[in-house]
Chains A and B, each alone.
Chain A
């Protein structure tokens, strides 16, 4: 935990440094109060940080004195490629926190010809990583004063047209950077020149396009981002469609993002990518209004097993309110809820829809199943709390429904005489993880509640070296019914031996 109160760097001066005047990484609750930052490549640089406040500072890209000194010494001028006021990055550590608040700041000496690329604010897209595919370094600007000779374009957002980040925008809280000759009553927003952010902005009446720098300046516009995180094993070909209900001609279909983990050799990290906390996420930046949202595959409305909704912080007034988006949950046939586990016999020839609790990797093993068929196995055996499971369709979990869960488990052993587990609570267990409220959490994929506890009571005696049946009967209560996502899994309990599972079912037995 970071300290809750602001740590204040007061009236510091930082100049002629080769890289950053000040560099904050993995930091939170820091205020830079006053101070002067000059002749650095980046006057300030904030990376994976949040709640950074800059108040009353002065930034000078290139001072006349610095140039004179270099010339007098026949030196080589630094920072001729990039000269940046504030270097921002794409994400905060916590989805719900504000990246930076920059106010009462004066910029000087950022002349167009000072460097190849001169910007007041820049965004580092951090290589090829997409994180959650969503821009979350939400920031506000206020009372920004720029001298007449400095570049007038505060941002360079050309990179957004080729990046996978959704929802890139910055709030100009008092519209102090509005284009010359225009007026604004309220907050304005600088948005990337890409379709997902432009979708619901009034481009014709309120926005000025900067083609060269890749952004629009939208006066009197306030956006707020809503994120929908869904089951990654059930999102293939799925789009999120949002329609403005007051003007149904305004709509947009968003594609989801999955933060694939890549190994050093460039191949997909199959272990990390089957982690239960890696969702497919859809992000929409919306102004105040009324919207209807649905997931669709082609034209058909679908339900990607579960939907967790996360609202970003309200950076300004008149952004969309949490109750202004109505998400359509298509009806589900009663028969579809008779059996909730998909591919429970592991015979579909795919790992879908299985995921690994704690991120240990999965594999399908031929001839290891109960009838010498396929079985599901985990690749990492080091964590007792890890396991294998899948998300179940939240629409089926109506209060009072009763389900019987059965799964066969086997621990790999070297001989039939192995005693794997003598006490009742040390072996594999059936468990469920629910998430009931996403807002207030540390990023996508972290459960609010701890595990509900084992559903099954393990084994009466020692775990047998061959197949063992785990079973539990669950009556859906309010908590389970209202959960945003429900993950049913087998927790391994024992480390150091490979766990196989087969014939996994969750069958409705009565209402």
Chain B
């Protein structure tokens, strides 16, 4: 997922996310992890998503949840000033698959609730990722970070 909404120009390609579960305990008020977990939670549309699969989530498969500004801690970076994810154009979104999810396969909505990355709650989900030529550069100048499970 992209967390703060400032993550841009990354490519997510041929990943599989399966059986994403809702958090049983909410860390902070307003989090949606307990009610709307999503396998691919996208907070900035300026990224490429190609050939990914989201299966069996207790919430959504892919969820574009776009805020009007970049959240902390990325918001402290100079480049994040004035970035409004809702106004950015969607990059490539092609050949993605969502199935067997409890809510929607693909969801794009403007929500005011604060959310937190359910991917960081290892104990709350089972995630199977097949990384294939995936670059994930959340802050642009940081070396490649692989998602861990």
Q: Which residues of A contact B (CB under 8 A)?
A: 1-3, 5, 7-27, 30, 37, 40, 45
Chain B residue nearest in CB terms to A5: B89
B118 to chain A, nearest CB (A): 18
The answer to the question of B86 belonging to the interface, with a C-beta cut-off of 8 Å to chain A, is yes
Contact with A along B96-111 (1 / 0, CB 8 A): 1111111111111110
The answer to the question of B45 belonging to the interface, with a C-beta cut-off of 8 Å to chain A, is yes
Contact with A along B105-133 (1 / 0, CB 8 A): 11111100000000000000000000000
A7 CB contacts on chain B under 8 angstroms:
45, 89-90, 93
B41 to chain A, nearest CB (A): 15
**Pairs A-B, 4 closest by C-beta atoms:** A7-B90, A14-B105, A25-B109, A20-B104
Interface residues of B in 28-84 (CB under 8 A from A): 45, 61
Q: Which residues of B contact A (CB under 8 A)?
A: 45, 61, 86-90, 92-110
CA distance in complex: A27, B95 (Å): 21
CA distance in complex: A26, B67 (Å): 12
For B108, give its contact among A8, A16, A19, A27 (CB under 8 Å): A27
B96 CB contacts on chain A under 8 angstroms:
9, 12-13
CA distance in complex: A9, B49 (Å): 10
Q: Name 13 extra pairs, CB < 8 A, besides A12-B105, A21-B105, A23-B103.
A: A3-B89, A9-B106, A11-B94, A11-B95, A12-B98, A13-B97, A13-B98, A14-B61, A15-B98, A15-B99, A18-B102, A21-B104, A23-B106
B88 CB contacts on chain A under 8 angstroms:
3
Chain B residue nearest in CB terms to A31: B90
Given the contacts A16-B99, A17-B100, A22 and B93 also touching, CB distance less than 8 Å: no
CA distance in complex: A311, B78 (Å): 45
Contact B90 A21 (CB under 8 A): no
Chain B residue nearest in CB terms to A11: B95
State the majority secondary structure of interface residues on A: strand
B89 CB contacts on chain A under 8 angstroms:
3, 5, 7
CA distance in complex: A19, B103 (Å): 5
CA distance in complex: A10, B104 (Å): 17
B105 CB contacts on chain A under 8 angstroms:
12, 14-15, 17, 20-22, 37, 40
Q: Taking each of A1, A5, A13, A40, which has the highest tally of chain B beta carbons within 10 Å of its own beta carbon? A: A13
Given the contacts A12-B93, A18-B101, A1 and B87 also touching, CB distance less than 8 Å: yes
B105 to chain A, nearest CB (A): 3
For A3, give its contact among B87, B94, B97, B108 (CB under 8 Å): B87
A18 CB contacts on chain B under 8 angstroms:
101-103
Given the contacts A14-B98, A14-B99, A24 and B87 also touching, CB distance less than 8 Å: no
A161 to chain B, nearest CB (A): 31
For B107, give its contact among A1, A2, A10, A22 (CB under 8 Å): A22
Chain B residue nearest in CB terms to A9: B93
Contact B93 A24 (CB under 8 A): no
CA distance in complex: A508, B98 (Å): 68
Given the contacts A2-B87, A8-B93, A12-B95, A23 and B107 also touching, CB distance less than 8 Å: yes
Contact B101 A2 (CB under 8 A): no
CA distance in complex: A71, B92 (Å): 38
CA distance in complex: A7, B47 (Å): 12
A–B Cβ pairs within 8 angstroms, 21 of them: A2-B86, A9-B93, A10-B93, A12-B94, A12-B97, A12-B98, A13-B99, A14-B97, A15-B98, A16-B100, A17-B101, A17-B103, A19-B102, A19-B104, A20-B104, A21-B104, A22-B104, A22-B107, A23-B107, A23-B109, A27-B109
Contact A23 B97 (CB under 8 A): no
A19 CB contacts on chain B under 8 angstroms:
102-104
B97 CB contacts on chain A under 8 angstroms:
12-14
Contact A23 B93 (CB under 8 A): no
CA distance in complex: A483, B105 (Å): 48
Chain B residue nearest in CB terms to A39: B99
A10 CB contacts on chain B under 8 angstroms:
92-95
CA distance in complex: A92, B6 (Å): 29
Given the contacts A2-B86, A2-B87, A3-B90, A24 and B95 also touching, CB distance less than 8 Å: no
A290 to chain B, nearest CB (A): 43
CA distance in complex: A449, B108 (Å): 32
Contact B103 A24 (CB under 8 A): no
A17 CB contacts on chain B under 8 angstroms:
61, 98-105
Chain A residue nearest in CB terms to B84: A1
A1 CB contacts on chain B under 8 angstroms:
87
A11 CB contacts on chain B under 8 angstroms:
94-95
A501 to chain B, nearest CB (A): 35
B97 to chain A, nearest CB (A): 5
Contact A26 B110 (CB under 8 A): yes
Given the contacts A1-B87, A2-B87, A3-B89, A12 and B106 also touching, CB distance less than 8 Å: yes
